[in-house]
Structure formats: structure tokens, C-alpha cells
Structure 1
Amino acid sequence: MGIMEDLNKTQIVLLCLLVSFVTSIGTGIISFSLLSEVPQAVTQTINRVVERTIEKVVPARVSDKTITKETTVVVKEEDLIIDAIGKISQSIVQIKAGSEETFYGLGLIVSKEGLIVADKKLFNSNVLYKATLADGSIFSLSSTPPKNSSSVVFFNLVKTKQDTTVFTFAVFGDSDKLQLGQSVIAIAGVNSPSVATGRISMLEKNADKTTLSLIKTDVVIKDTASGGPILNLSGEVVGLNTANITDIQSGNFTPINLIKTEMK
């Protein structure tokens, strides 16, 4: 009988394991010897292949989850008023008339080219007008004769050809969207800017009830000046103080939408 026939099952299994182990060792030794003799360029290529394979197999780090946290911010009306005044301050000018530079009223810059809207009041086309800007610079003004029905007059800041000034202009709101009780800010002042705050007390419309014709407020203006604007809390101009409506100290204003139509 052969040797294999003399072995039981356990011995056969152990023999197979021994043969496999010896074969593996032999294969490893032969492979190492062969690789040692391979040119360096080939081994570098193999290494790069391994490195790239590893880069593809290793998963990217999972980014942290974004956690959104809601925070309640309390905005005070005082802060809104200060911000609104800051937005309009560079757009308000003082207008003076004649060689004696008599104070005429306030003007509002409404375009980057230097178009100014002001109360028509005692406008005289034969008088020379000048405007003092918020930064103290002074410009001569040219004017367009106003319509008889108009409550405002338009001036233009006169620049030299070399002057490339781009003027800061006011942003208009929509006076038709005003609400009773809404907070407003009035800008006035003859010698220096002054402000007053209040609320809208009445909104008068024309005969057909479609167009807002007058804004009444409870704003008390002490150092008043014609041509001064009223603002909403967003800093948008919603009205202008004009003498044709009533006493300029009354707190009544011409809706800005009426003035917009005259600018077209």
C-alpha cells in the first residue's frame, strides 16, 4: 500500500497545509529576487500605480454637518432713524440767493448728475442761486422755469468740464404706500441740519380718491426750512415740505409721487 493510504484524514490535511506553506515561502523568495533585478524605472511605475490605487480607494473625510442656528436680533427704532438720516445727509443742500447769499431753502439732490428739487416758494429766474453741499463745497446753480401749477423748482449743479464729481442722490419711496400711524422723519434746519420725528396723522387724496395729494403728520418742526424732505425708516424720501400746501411749520408735506411726475 502507498504512503498516502497509511495516513488518516487529519494527517492528510496537515500534510496539505505544510506543502502550501512551503510553496508560499518559495514563491515569495523567488518574487523578491526577481523584483530586485528589475530596472528602477519599472519599480517606480509599480509604486505609482500602488499609490494611485490607494488614493482612489481611501475615502475622503466626511465633512462636518452644517448646523444652522437662528438668532433673534432686536432692532430699535432709534437705530433705524439714525441709519435713515445717514443715508440722506449727503443729498441735502442749502440754497442761497443773490449776491448777499440770502437763505432760500433746502434742496434735494435727485440724480448723480446733480439735479436738485426744491420748493418753488419765491423763486425768481433773474436771481443767481448757489448750493452748499454737505461737505462744504459750493456750486452755482442753473434753473428751469417751473410750471405755474408746480409746487417745486428744479436746479442743476453747474460743474466745470474738468469736474468729474458724481453726486450722492436721494432714494425715493412710494408715497402711495404710506399708512396712518407710520413713523416718519423730517429734515429741516436753516444754519445747520435739524431733525424731528413723528407719525402720519392723515392721508388726503384728490377728488377722484385715486391720488394722494397731501401728507399730514404730527411732526413739530421748530427750525423749519422749505424744501426739507420727510423720510420713512428705510431712509427713502416720501414727501417734501412745500409752501404751496400750507404753513411750512404745520407738518404737512407734498407726496413724493406728485413730484416724480414732474421729473418725467
Structure 2
Amino acid sequence: MDDLNKNQLIMLVLLVSFVTSVVTGIVTVSLVGESPAPFTQTIQRVIEQINPLSQNNQANNNQQANPLSAVNPSYDSGDESIVKLVKSVSSSVVSVVATKDMPIIEQYYINPFKDDPFWNMLPEGFLPDIQIPQYRQKGTEEKKVSSGTGFFISKDGLLLTNKHVVEDTSASYSIVTNDGRKLNAKVLARDPLQDLAVLKVEGDNFNPIPLGDSDKLNVGQTVIAIGNALGEFNNTVSKGIISGLNRTVSAASPSGVEELTNLIQTDAAINHGNSGGPLLDLSGRVIGINVAIAESAQNIGFALPINIAKRDISDAKEFGTIKYPYIGIKYKTAEKGVEITEVISNSPAFKAGLKTGDVIVQINGKDIKDKSGLANILSMLRVGDKIQVKVLRNGNYEMNFEIILEERPQNI
């Protein structure tokens, strides 16, 4: 210290002050940018776009609520039936929880000037001790990373949920029942095309919810939605009506955006975390699986019709997996049906004799009007089914083919 003259000391102090101000800025940015974020998220698909073509049957769902009676606050017979319905299915609806081994992040501090000779020339305590935060991994621990909803469809532990609730193949899954029991769950099958998945837990005395018929729904009928709202409020119940049928939307999920078709629209509140929960009719039967919400509007939620899940359920019970039927073509919408743009070699369509340029106009006597129409018919069929296909070849020459559906290859 004696070797420093007054001018050198002043310059050194100014230099240290400048460095201190820079480091302070670095510390601030570091604290904002590097602090670990919370991991848990509630799973719910959000609507990116509503297809205007699906709005032809839009129902006016503006309802005038009846004023509450100040004389008799007790619920009426309609409320009583809903209360009984909810009690009967409450043990069937569960939270689906995903957990992963996440890094434990430890914060510690260092003085970057500790070994600097100029810094050490100053007397102890002359300047404040500068400490910069650093982060390092200190092992891992299992943490909850997401949650959704599911419901029992068999006494021996089969459950139905959305595929996007369990799409992380590196995660472990469990369910939490309404009475607080936690059971490990295995993802038995993920539907390759629909937002559906089947889970399995060990046991043989569960309470499955009976399945309804989503082809017999009417706009305006009352429905009940149940789910794990916000990942915190188990078995949250909401009541509404069917606002529309056969909706088509583009919905976002962690894996991207995809088009969902033939959806049930409802004004029953569907919150984050409700994905995979049941939409029930007043007889207590599942008529839909809650799948998406429109965040830009109020009281607009969507559910997959239960009938599209019945083939998946049958496959899971019979084979322990989902076998998706496969015809083996690529196609685009044509004026009168769908035009084949490619016939895949050795596929069922190839074996039956279909050719590029053929226009499929009917399957099993049902008219095909667009791409989704063909996909919807195939989604109701099973591997091994025989279908009758009517095509137009060379513009107007009608031909009929019998095709035996095969299992969809894994690489498609």
C-alpha cells in the first residue's frame, strides 16, 4: 500500500467503483434471467382458431338466469337430481399427475476479484465485498410437472383422458382419487390421430362411468363438466348446455397446433386442468371428453364426442393397446369427395386396386364430402373390418372395391 501514490490510489478507487457498478448490473440481470422458474403446469388445450365452416349450426346460448328466491333458498328437484348425479360419479373422476426427476438448483456467491492483486492491495474493509450469484445443479428430485383429469371406464382400472395430458414419454404418471389415494398409472395407449389416451392402474373395484351416445345429442340440452380445475381443485363441477355440435377448431398443446373436428361446444365452465375430464348428460352418462377452451371468450369450451373413443376403449380392453385402422392412401379434398394423391405400396388400398387420381365418393354407402369425412368414418372402424369403397376413375367412371383394413404402421 505504501508503494501507491495519491494519484494511483484515486485511479484505483475510480476503477473499482466502475467495476462495481458494472457488476451490480450483471447481478440484477442474473437474478432476473437465471432464477429457476416454477415447474408445475396445469394441462389444457387453448383454441388458436375456430373454423368458420363449423359455425353453420351456431346456437344462441345467451341465457337469462332466474333470480334467486329469497323466500326458499333450498334447491329444487332439478338441482337435487344433479347433486345425486355428481355424488354417483365423484369417485370415478381423478386427477392425472405427471412427475419427473428435475434438477435441484443451488444458488451460491463468488467474489470475482478475490484473487486480483490490485484488489488485494487495498486495506481490508476499504471497499464492500462484491458477491455475484451463481447457480449449480445439486442432484435431482422428483417433482410434479403437470396435471390434468381422467375418469374410470372399467372396474379393473382402465381410465380415459386426453393424449396431451400424458404426451411426455419421459414422465411418470399417477392418479389421485377423490378420497386422496395416490396410485401409479401406466399409459396403456395413445391414439395416434385423436387426442385420446387410455391409462391403467392396478385394482379391481373401481367405479366406472357408463358411456352415452354422442350421436344423439341436441343443442340446448343440459350437460355437466367435472375436472381438476387449475390442478388444485379436484372434482370441480360446472353446469351448462350444449351450445353447438360438429365444431372444428385449431387447438394448441405442448406439442404444437392441430385441427380438432366434430367437437361438442358447451358453455359449461371448462378450466385449465380439466382436460380429460368427463362431460355428462343428466342421466350420468359420459357424452364427451373435455379437451379445449377458447381463452379469448367466456363460456366457450369443447369436448370430444365419446363415440370416437369407443373403438379405443374396445381395443385397450381386448389388445392392451390401440390398433388404428389403416387404408394406405394420401388424399386431398375434391369437388365430389377426396382425390387420392398417392397409394402406399403394399397397403390395403394398393392390394384392392385403388390408383392415384381415383376420387373416393362413398364408404359403406356413406357420402364422403371432404378429408375430415373420410377420417371420421375410418375412426369408427376397427382393424380387420371390411369396407365397401365407391370411387370415380378418370372423372366419372364408377368403380367399387372391397378393402380389408389393416393396423396403421408405427412409422406413419
Deviation digits for residues 164-195 of structure 1, max 9, x if unmatched?
x4111111111111111101111122222211
Q: Which residue of 1 aligns with 2:184?
A: 140
Shift of 1:119: 0.9
CA distance in 2, matches of 1:241, 1:181: 18
Shift of 1:155: 0.8
Contact 2:276/2:291 (8 A) holds in 1:
yes
Deviation digits for residues 109-135 of structure 1, max 9, x if unmatched?
110000011111151222110111122
Cα distance change, pair 81–263 in 1 and its aligned pair in 2 (3 A): same
What SS does structure 2 have at the residue aligned with 1:140? strand
Given residue 160 of structure 2, which amino acid in structure 1 is its aligned partner?
V
Contact 1:121/1:242 (8 A) holds in 2:
no
Q: Which residue of 2 aligns with 1:121?
A: 164
Shift of 1:145: 3.8
Q: Identify which of 289, 297, 302 aligns with 1:240.
A: 289
Q: Which residue of 2 aligns with 1:155?
A: 199
Shift of 1:86: 1.2
TM-score (norm 2): 0.40
Shift of 1:202: 1.0
Given residue 118 of structure 1, which amino acid in structure 2 is its aligned partner?
T
2:145 counterpart of 1:106: no
Shift of 1:233: 0.9
Q: Which residue of 2 aligns with 1:191?
A: 232
Shift of 1:255: 0.5
Give aligned pairs, total: 178
Could you tell me the percent identity over the aligned residues? 31
Q: Which residue of 2 aligns with 1:251?
A: 301
Contact 2:158/2:199 (8 A) holds in 1:
yes
Shift of 1:139: 0.9
CA distance in 1, matches of 2:152, 2:310: 13
Given residue 100 of structure 1, which amino acid in structure 2 is its aligned partner?
K
Q: Which residue of 1 aligns with 2:208?
A: 169
Q: Give the CA RMSD over aligned residues.
A: 2.2
Q: Which residue of 2 aligns with 1:179?
A: 218
What SS does structure 2 have at the residue aligned with 1:197? strand
2:216 counterpart of 1:216: no
CA distance in 2, matches of 1:96, 1:223: 14
Cα distance change, pair 213–127 in 1 and its aligned pair in 2 (3 A): same
What SS does structure 2 have at the residue aligned with 1:121? helix
Q: Which residue of 1 aligns with 2:246?
A: 204
Given residue 226 of structure 1, which amino acid in structure 2 is its aligned partner?
S
CA distance in 2, matches of 1:253, 1:225: 11
Shift of 1:222: 4.4
Deviation digits for residues 58-101 of structure 1, max 9, x if unmatched?
xxxxxxxxxxxxxxxxx722112111111211101111111312
Q: Which runs of 5+ in 1 are unaligned?
A: 1-74, 160-164, 207-211
Q: Identify which of 296, 302, 312 aligns with 1:262.
A: 312
Shift of 1:144: 2.4
Given residue 128 of structure 1, which amino acid in structure 2 is its aligned partner?
S
What SS does structure 2 have at the residue aligned with 1:100? strand
Shift of 1:224: 4.8
Q: Which residue of 1 aligns with 2:403?
A: none
Contact 1:203/1:214 (8 A) holds in 2:
yes
Q: Which residue of 2 aligns with 1:231?
A: 280
Given residue 285 of structure 2, which amino acid in structure 1 is its aligned partner?
E
Q: Which runs of 5+ in 2 are unaligned?
A: 1-75, 100-141, 249-260, 315-412
Give 1:6-17 correspondences, 5 Å limit. none
